[in-house]
Amino acid sequence: MGGKRNKALFICLIILVAVVYASAISAAQEPSFRLDLDNLNLQKGVSTRLTLSMINAQGAEVVEIEGLAAFDVLSRSQSTSISIVNGKSTHQFDWFYTIMPKEAGEFTLKAKVKYNGKIYESNELTVTVSEIPDSGDKPEGDLFIRTSLSKDEIYLGEKVVLTYELYTRYSIEDVGFMDYTAIDGAVAKEMPVGQQRGEYVYLGGIRYAKYVIKQLIIDPIKTGSVTIPAFNVQVNVITDGFGGFGGFFSSTRPMYIRTQAKELTVTPLPLEGRPKDFSGVVGELQLEGSYTREEVEFGDSLSLLVKASGSCNLDGLKRIFTGNVPGFAVYETQKNAAESVKDGQYYAEKEFEVIMVPQKTGTIEVAPVAIAYFNPVTGKYERAEIPGTTIEITGEMPVIALGGGENQPTARETVAITQVNYLDASDGYVMLQINKQVLFWVLVGICVLIVLIILLVWIVSSRRQQDATLKVLYKQMMAAEDVSEVYDLFNEMIKHCFGVSLKASPVDVVRRRLPEEIAEQVVGVVGLMESENRILCDELKGKVRGIYLIIESGLRT
């Protein structure tokens, strides 16, 4: 036993001496700094990895990387390694940057590093960035996104579909937008999509997996040009960790790409030919209607069932009948309303039930029901109609007695007043006498009070209307499942309430511009997001929820 113990101690001593010796040798080696890029020919909006290797330079600090301002730095990480070859030890520290070009052109990258009081420079890289070609059916790389609008030019009141399609030759785990998809001048409603239900397509003879990763229904609120900005997207690509054992030891690495910006032209509706009863519907409208009965007994009712549908905006369609229906009392209810995307195009439908109660017996002619709408295809105002019909009302109407009974006289009696007797009119009443001037000022005070009440109601209503945006942002944030999306929506909340951008403002500005009640809590959230420690989505929501409750209680600028 003693011999084995001594032998083990001897081996450990040899290893220790070797490490010390190798460290001494490495300390004498000259440091070197190298800059590498996965690809020197890039496309705008497609990410790549930049690596800065610092060899035998323990404790070195990166001063700057010249030319990096032309790129968005999407993520950064680091690693350390030590290798011993022929008794020589090499210490290597690597910085990994995921970068994405902002503009097309030619750029030069070079790192400056401070080590032992000196400034060292790395090698120089010349990077060429090109625009993403509008290549139709041609591929744009191994991973890219295509942005498409169902229409590029529309009339105000039309809705269009914005679709983002991911094409990949990699196996992916998931994909998500890093930015909040807000569009100035338009309301964007996100539609559910099945990201995992991809399909295979061939572009230029190369097979790709295609996924619809996001679809938005765009409803412009102004005429002119509406810009749909470019958004950053993170794609987690599956990589095999140990030679590909059927994916059992697979891991993922993030890749970043940017969507294409689009321009949407919105034209005002023409005034010429606009009917007075224009419903506000813009698009190709189909109208279907049917009466449940064509013969009904007086005292009973029938219904008109109406379905409006098509590639049209039905938000303005609230009623089927715009006026009275002779012979009937009409009661309308909206049963169903839905929006969807069919073959990449916007589609909507609404269902109404119109209950009709007869007010007389006999045969009643019901005129056709017409809805005036604007057809963007023809560029004219048109009408969709439900054919008229004839309704037979059977039975008898009840007789309302206006005079006396059968045995009661119907002759009128004339009453002559021959004497007027003035009695005390105040019997049983209290009479007040008020000075006219006092009455005038009392009425003035009542009018002022009414005006103040109206003003207060208006202020409260305006406040609630403002708070509607805050509530929508908070609701979207609590439904988000990605930490970056939660933080983006939180930033929009703070910007909406206090005019401060957490991403663009220094911490001292945030502290100064926000109320004391929430300043430190908000700064704490910013610190968590900027730290290297990973924060869970539910943890971030919990912190933001407390800030939201304070703001909602009345803490507003």
Per-residue pLDDT tens, the chain, 557 aa: give them: 455 556 656 665 665 555 554 444 444 568 889 999 887 888 777 778 899 999 888 888 888 999 988 888 877 888 888 877 766 778 888 888 888 888 889 999 999 999 988 999 999 999 988 876 655 556 678 889 999 999 999 999 999 999 999 999 888 888 989 888 889 999 999 988 764 567 888 887 788 888 999 999 999 999 999 999 999 999 998 876 544 444 455 678 888 888 999 999 999 999 999 999 999 999 999 999 999 999 999 989 999 999 999 999 999 898 898 888 999 999 999 988 999 998 889 999 999 999 999 999 999 999 999 999 999 999 999 999 999 999 999 988 876 555 544 444 444 433 333 333 434 444 555 555 666 777 778 888 888 889 888 888 776 665 554 467 788 788 888 888 788 888 888 888 888 888 888 877 778 878 888 888 888 888 888 888 877 666 788 888 888 888 888 887 765 54
Q: pTM (2 decimals)?
A: 0.55
- Does 293 lie in the same domain as 262? no
- Identify whether residues 170 and 121 lie together within a single domain: no
Domain of 53 in residue numbering reads as 25-130
91 and 151 in a single domain? The answer is no
Same domain for 342 and 387? yes
Q: Is residue 362 part of a domain?
A: yes
262 and 157 in one domain? yes
Query: Which of 338, 366, 394 is the last residue in one of the domains?
Result: 394
The helix or strand, by DSSP H or E, that contains position 31, with its residue range, turns out to be none
- CB-based contact 389:372 (threshold 8 Å): no
209 within 8 A of 238, measured Cβ to Cβ: no
Q: To the nearest 10°, report the CA torsion of 315, 316, 318, 319.
A: -130
Q: How far apart are CA 42 and CA 258, in angstroms?
A: 13
**Domain boundary at 130, 157, 178, which?**
130
Q: How far apart are CA 180 and CA 191, in angstroms?
A: 15
Evaluate whether residue 439 is within a structural domain.
Answer: no
Q: Are strands 71-85 and 302-310 parallel, antiparallel or unpaired?
A: unpaired
Question: What b/e string do you get for 3-29 counting C-beta neighbours within 10 Å, with b at 16 or more?
Answer: eeeeeeeeeeeeeeeeeeebeeebeee
Residues 159, 240: one domain? yes
Residues 183 and 251 in one domain: yes
81 part of a folded domain: yes
Same domain, yes or no: 194 and 248: yes
CATH number of the domain enclosing 118: 2.60.40.740
Q: Which residue has the tokens 């968005």?
A: 72
CATH of the domain at 283: 2.60.40
Residue 451 lies in a domain: no
Residue 490 lies in a domain: yes
Instruction: Classify residue 37: in a domain, yes or no.
Output: yes
Three-state secondary structure of 161-174: EEEEEEEECCCEEE
Residue 181 and residue 91 share a domain = no
Number of domains in the chain: 4
Query: 293 and 377 share a domain?
Result: yes
Same domain (yes/no): 163, 210: yes
- How far apart are the C-alpha atoms of 146 and 264, rounded to whole Å? 16
Stated as kind and residue range, the H or E segment containing 128 is strand 118-130
- Identify whether residues 160 and 125 lie together within a single domain: no
* Boundary residue ending a domain (130, 162, 192): 130
